[in-house]
């Protein structure tokens, strides 16, 4: 592995990060076999991957428990990343980015992970009900206490990243050192602002879903019925455009002799603003296939042809898990009151 520096933290990480969302789950969406999941973690570590990313909400803590068991004896060699924000029960205060929840969530994660510190603690999503200053202040206290080494964000829009950096500088608080957005051949929107902003502020980028939710595995083709389409992971108004792009990417992979998964992963880590791409294998066999992509370097010609299929800064697909700002989700935020509209 050729290791890369995570932003300006000095922390060296592998170009592929092991995403643990699919490990140690109940089997409906991932690998329900604990021992097999642990073997996947060990195989990744043996291959040189040194960063593992999980979150408290994955299997309601089950993923963190699995990771904690798997890295026993490896802890000093692992860059351990986890996240907070998602709901951890029905209590409305057991979620979000408030100081109240962060100080509880970190203790819960430390216990499940069986460690005394987290290398990278990330806000899983923005929280429009909390001032960024409160979130950053709570995270700063965790860094100063030694429970957290660095802090990051996930799916934060560029404008919020700039606000966070300004707040940290103005208030003397720890800065977000990384951002975790989605990025793939089919989802290139972050090339417009998110990645340039991250580069400007010396932030690392750990990109998720480089295989576009499985669309870039080569298994999902035009005219096929499959679990992915039934699961409703994508907006269906994008189906035709998305499948057109997938068919062209598969054709390019066949022409170049590069497996589609390898082409997709090599693309994701070719951007100078990307530090690592998260891979989420469900079996050792899948992991071995993905690891082989580490040796693939795409030529300028191939990258130019990918640009022709999906232009830079363009999204032809959007995963349901991606952050949507309140202004898009809540009609009252984009419509004047009915009385004002009728008066006009």
- Within 8 A by CB and 6+ apart from 4, the residues are 12, 13, 14, 15, 204, 275, 276
Do the beta carbons of residue 278 and residue 226 sit within 8 Å? no
> Could you tell me the residue range of the domain that residue 115 belongs to?
4-343
What mean pLDDT do residues 71-91 have?
Answer: 96
Lookup: tokens for 158: 């560029």
CATH code: domain of residue 142: 3.20.20.100
Q: Which of 3, 58, 121, 183 is catalytic?
A: 58
**Which of 58-67, 70-79, 227-236 has the least mean pLDDT?**
227-236
Q: What is the pLDDT of residue 28?
A: 66
What mean pLDDT do residues 284-312 have?
Answer: 95
- How confident is the model over 159-190, as pLDDT tens digits? 999 999 999 999 999 999 999 999 999 999 99
- Could you give phi then psi for residue 149, rounded to 5 degrees? -90, -40
- Within 8 A by CB and 6+ apart from 311, the residues are 188
Alpha-carbon gap, residue 25 to 44, rounded angstroms: 18
Do the beta carbons of residue 219 and residue 289 sit within 8 Å? no
Of 36, 37, 46, the C-alpha closest to 74 is 46
**Could you tell me how far CA 66 lies from the centroid of its own chain?**
19
Catalytic site residue 58? yes
What mean pLDDT do residues 300-319 have?
Answer: 93
Phi/psi region, residue 181 (left: phi>0; alpha: psi -120 to 50; beta: rest), is: beta
Alpha-carbon gap, residue 155 to 273, rounded angstroms: 15
Q: What is the pLDDT of residue 232?
A: 43
Sign of the alpha-carbon torsion through 207, 208, 214, 215: negative
Of 13, 14, 15, 37, the C-alpha closest to 24 is 37
Residues pairing with 74 in the sheet: none
Q: What is the pLDDT of residue 228?
A: 47
What mean pLDDT do residues 52-78 have?
Answer: 95
Domain count across the chain = 1
Q: What is the pLDDT of residue 226?
A: 53
Q: Is the pLDDT of residue 230 over 50?
A: no
What mean pLDDT do residues 132-150 have?
Answer: 98
- Within 8 A by CB and 6+ apart from 8, the residues are 177, 202
Lookup: tokens for 51: 């960063």
Band (pLDDT 50/70/90 cuts) for residue 286 is: very high
- How confident is the model over 5-53, as pLDDT tens digits? 999 999 999 999 999 998 877 666 778 789 999 999 999 999 999 999 9
Percent residues over pLDDT 70 in the chain: 92
Q: What is the pLDDT of residue 333?
A: 78
- Within 8 A by CB and 6+ apart from 228, the residues are 213, 214, 215, 220, 234
Band (pLDDT 50/70/90 cuts) for residue 240 is: confident
Do the beta carbons of residue 261 and residue 217 sit within 8 Å? yes
């Amino acid at each position: 592995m050729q290791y890369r520096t995570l932003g300006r933290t000095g922390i060296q990480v592998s170009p592929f990060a092991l995403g643990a969302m699919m490990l140690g789950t109940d089997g409906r969406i991932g690998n329900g076999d604990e021992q097999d999941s642990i073997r996947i973690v060990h195989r990744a570590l043996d291959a040189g991957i040194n960063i593992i990313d999980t979150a408290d909400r994955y299997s309601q803590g089950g993923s963190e428990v699995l990771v904690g068991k798997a890295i026993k004896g490896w802890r000093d060699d692992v860059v351990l990343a986890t996240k907070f924000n998602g709901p951890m029960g029905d209590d409305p205060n057991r979620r979000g980015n408030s100081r109240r929840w962060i100080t509880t969530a970190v203790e819960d994660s430390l216990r499940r992970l069986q460690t005394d510190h987290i290398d990278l603690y990330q806000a899983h999503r923005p929280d429009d009900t909390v001032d960024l200053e409160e979130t950053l202040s709570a995270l700063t206290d965790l860094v100063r206490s030694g429970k957290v080494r660095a802090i990051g964000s996930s799916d934060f829009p560029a404008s919020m990243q700039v606000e966070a950096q300004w707040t940290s500088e103005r208030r003397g608080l720890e800065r977000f050192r990384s951002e975790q957005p989605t990025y793939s051949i089919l989802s290139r929107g972050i090339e417009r602002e998110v990645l340039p902003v991250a580069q400007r502020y010396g932030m690392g980028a750990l990109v998720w879903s480089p295989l576009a939710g499985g669309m870039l595995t080569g298994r999902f083709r035009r005219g096929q019925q499959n679990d992915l389409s039934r699961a409703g992971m994508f907006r269906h108004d994008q189906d035709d455009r998305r499948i057109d792009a997938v068919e062209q990417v598969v054709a390019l992979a066949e022409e170049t002799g590069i497996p589609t998964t390898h082409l997709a992963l090599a693309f994701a880590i070719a951007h100078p603003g990307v530090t690592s791409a998260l891979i989420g294998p469900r079996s050792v066999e899948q992991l071995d296939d993905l690891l082989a992509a580490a040796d693939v370097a795409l030529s300028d010609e191939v990258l130019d042809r990918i640009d022709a299929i999906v232009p830079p800064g363009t999204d032809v697909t959007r995963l349901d898990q991606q952050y949507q700002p309140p202004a898009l989700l809540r009609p009252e935020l984009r419509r004047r009151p009915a009385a004002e509209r009728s008066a006009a």
